């Protein structure tokens, strides 16, 4: 019997690289294909520890390229898909929404069409076909401070070009299930943090700026609230949903861990002062309040009861453990940070992979 083949899109990105590593190491009898365009946030250096594994194959390509997607589906006959590839930075979506429309909407529909074409024409393989679409809690809109958590039944109310593009892709995935009987599952997760995150996002940005004595930009008064989830816990949840999730269902994945942005920044300052042997209060002086961004959602908070009750998943780390591990990783991996911000790693991997 041939190996069960899984396509993971966006597998060189922050969350994707943790998912690829988990599946490659945990399931040696699976064949894991990692498809990534290698934009600014896609970094094969995240996967150096598994790049020689016999069950791992990297594919360099763009999910918006219809001909390329059809070609690789025909050639490799993927039996399931874990779809993480996405433009995900809200600020970038405000300045250039069309990039988000093409990648998050058109790219998703390309994958849906390719999966439908292949799976509808082939008999069962012993392992189920599954299109697993990874989404975000931002599709649900914004909560007031005293509102109940987002559930899987919360109506969609996207409020930024990014969240609107993800909401649209969610709707297409469900439409292909209802119209074509495509086997799908969706999960919506809260904010992730941890190793390998590109330093435009809040936590790695603050760690890097504190280390280098640069200003710590905080939108508005820093009152916005986010629910934080350690990335390896998210990868573990994806593993559970992929193997045990019910076809056609949605699962919310959250950390049960709400923080105001300003409180989180103060915590990072405190921890970094200790780790860098700086006097108490030193890093806090770097905090700089900047004008709020347009349409800045006040609060996200996930009710993850369904995935816990039905599939048995819950976060393994308390936030104080996860944030300590995260800070330590960034302080111990300065070369990685320099490479991804300078683009040096792309020259290396251009020779290793892209010219094959």
Distant-in-sequence contacts of 269-274, Cβ < 8 A, 24+ apart: 269/206, 269/210, 269/216, 271/323, 271/324, 271/327, 272/207, 272/210, 272/211, 272/327
Catalytic position from the list 132, 140, 162, 176: 162
Phi, psi torsion values for 84, nearest 5 degrees: -110, -15
Catalytic position from the list 36, 87, 137, 152: 137
Catalytic position from the list 36, 138, 233, 303: 138
Q: Cα(236)–Cα(27) distance, rounded to whole angstroms?
A: 13
CA nearest to 32, candidates 238, 322, 199, 260: 238
Count of beta carbons in the 10 Å neighbourhood of residue 99: 17
Widest pairwise Cα distance in the chain:
66
* Sheet of 80-83, strands arranged across: 56-60, 30-36, 4-9, 80-83, 130-136, 184-189, 250-253
Per the annotation, the verdict on 137 as an active-site residue is yes
- Region of 222 (left: φ > 0; alpha: ψ -120 to 50; beta: rest) is left
Tell me the catalytic residues: 137-138, 162
């Amino acid at each position: 019997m041939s190996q069960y083949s899984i396509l993971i899109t966006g597998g060189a990105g922050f969350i994707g690289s943790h998912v690829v590593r988990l599946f490659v190491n945990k399931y040696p009898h699976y064949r894991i294909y990692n498809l990534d365009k290698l934009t600014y946030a896609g970094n094969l250096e995240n996967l150096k520890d598994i790049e020689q594994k016999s069950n791992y194959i990297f594919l360099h390509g763009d999910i918006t390229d219809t001909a390329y997607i059809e070609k690789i589906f025909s050639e490799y006959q993927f039996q399931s898909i874990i779809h993480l590839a996405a433009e995900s930075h809200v600020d970038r979506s405000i300045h250039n929404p069309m990039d988000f429309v093409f990648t998050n909407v058109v790219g998703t529909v390309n994958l849906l069409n390719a999966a439908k074409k292949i799976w509808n024409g082939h008999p069962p393989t012993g392992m189920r076909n599954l299109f697993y679409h990874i989404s975000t809690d931002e599709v649900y809109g914004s909560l007031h401070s005293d509102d109940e958590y987002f559930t899987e039944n919360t109506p969609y109310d996207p409020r930024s070009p990014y969240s609107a593009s993800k909401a649209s892709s969610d709707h297409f995935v469900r439409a292909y299930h209802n119209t074509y009987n495509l086997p799908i599952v969706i999960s919506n997760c809260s904010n992730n943090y941890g190793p390998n995150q590109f330093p435009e996002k809040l936590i790695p940005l603050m760690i890097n700026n504190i280390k280098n004595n640069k200003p710590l930009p905080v939108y508005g008064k820093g009152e916005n609230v986010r629910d934080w989830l350690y990335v390896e816990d998210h990868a573990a949840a994806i593993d559970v949903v992929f193997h045990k999730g019910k076809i056609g269902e949605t699962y919310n994945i959250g950390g049960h861990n709400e923080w105001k942005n300003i409180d989180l920044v103060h915590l990072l300052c405190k921890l970094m002062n200790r780790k860098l042997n700086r006097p108490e209060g030193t890093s806090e002086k770097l905090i700089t309040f900047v004008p709020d961004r347009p349409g800045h959602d006040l609060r996200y908070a996930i009710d993850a009861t369904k995935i816990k009750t039905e599939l048995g998943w819950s976060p393994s780390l308390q936030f104080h453990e996860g944030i300590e591990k995260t800070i330590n990783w960034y302080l111990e991996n300065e070369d990685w940070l320099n490479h991804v911000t300078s683009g040096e790693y792309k020259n290396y991997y251009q020779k290793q992979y892209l010219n094959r």
